[in-house]
């Protein structure tokens, strides 16, 4: 088994799979484009487009996204790692900023709940993940700051952002 990655380690990416999130297959945010289309269709009785402030618009979009997600039976019992391909990750070397763990598996609900009146023992079992697996995720930053391209990336990097990659896709460099 290889040594774990630690903050400050220099690495390069072997497989350009950017970590997006760990969770269930669909989330309400996946329905945001459709919710925005519905929002544009909102009209007053006389046909005028409805106008809301940013805060109200955000709440309406959240509610529409959630309603669309429910309609599509989003979620499900399987918790997985979601990634996307990003070929720019293959360029250059990085420094590990932090490493964290996420868990995947199949959700099972709590069960039992009866109490033995004589002994006071309960057969209640908390819910959890069956076939649970732990995945280590590393947040990276460019080794050479001159390689940081674009205003958006530099803003993300300044607040501690930067690409996240599963450590199985990384290799330590000297």
Assess whether pLDDT exceeds 70 at residue 99.
yes
128 shares a domain with 86: yes
103 shares a domain with 35: no
130 shares a domain with 91: yes
> Residue 63: its pLDDT value, please?
94
> Which one of 40, 74, 108 terminates a domain?
74
> Which one of 16, 41, 74 terminates a domain?
74
58 shares a domain with 127: no
**pTM attached to this predicted model:** 0.66
Nearest to 93 by CA among 146, 142, 158, 46: 142
Express each pLDDT in 40-92 by its tens digit. Answer: 888 888 888 888 888 999 999 999 999 998 887 777 788 899 999 999 888 88
Express each pLDDT in 100-144 by its tens digit. Answer: 999 999 988 888 767 776 776 777 778 888 999 999 999 998 776
> Residue 144: its pLDDT value, please?
62
Number of domains comprising the chain: 2
Cα–Cα distance, 45 to 53 (Å, whole number): 20
31 shares a domain with 5: no
36 shares a domain with 121: no
Cα–Cα distance, 72 to 26 (Å, whole number): 9
> Residue 84: its pLDDT value, please?
92
Q: Which domain holds residue 157?
A: 1-25+77-174
> Which one of 37, 55, 74 terminates a domain?
74
Q: Is 64 exposed, middle or buried (0-12, 13-18, 19+ CB in 10 A)?
A: buried
């Amino acid at each position: 088994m290889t040594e774990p990655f630690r903050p400050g380690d220099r690495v390069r990416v072997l497989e350009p799979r950017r970590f997006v999130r760990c969770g269930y297959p669909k989330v309400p945010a996946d329905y945001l484009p459709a919710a925005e289309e519905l929002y544009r269709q909102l009209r007053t009785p006389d046909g005028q487009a409805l106008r809301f402030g940013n805060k109200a618009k955000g709440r309406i979009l959240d509610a529409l996204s959630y309603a669309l997600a429910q309609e599509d039976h989003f979620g499900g019992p399987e918790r997985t790692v979601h990634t996307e391909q990003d070929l720019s990750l293959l360029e250059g070397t990085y420094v590990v900023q932090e490493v964290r763990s996420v868990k995947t598996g199949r959700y099972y609900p709590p069960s039992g709940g009866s109490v033995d009146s004589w002994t006071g023992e309960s057969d209640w079992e908390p819910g959890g993940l069956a076939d649970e697996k732990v995945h280590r995720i590393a947040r990276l930053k460019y080794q050479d700051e001159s390689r940081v391209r674009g205003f958006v990336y530099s803003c993300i990097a300044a607040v501690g952002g930067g690409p996240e990659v599963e450590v199985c896709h990384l290799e330590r460099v000297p």
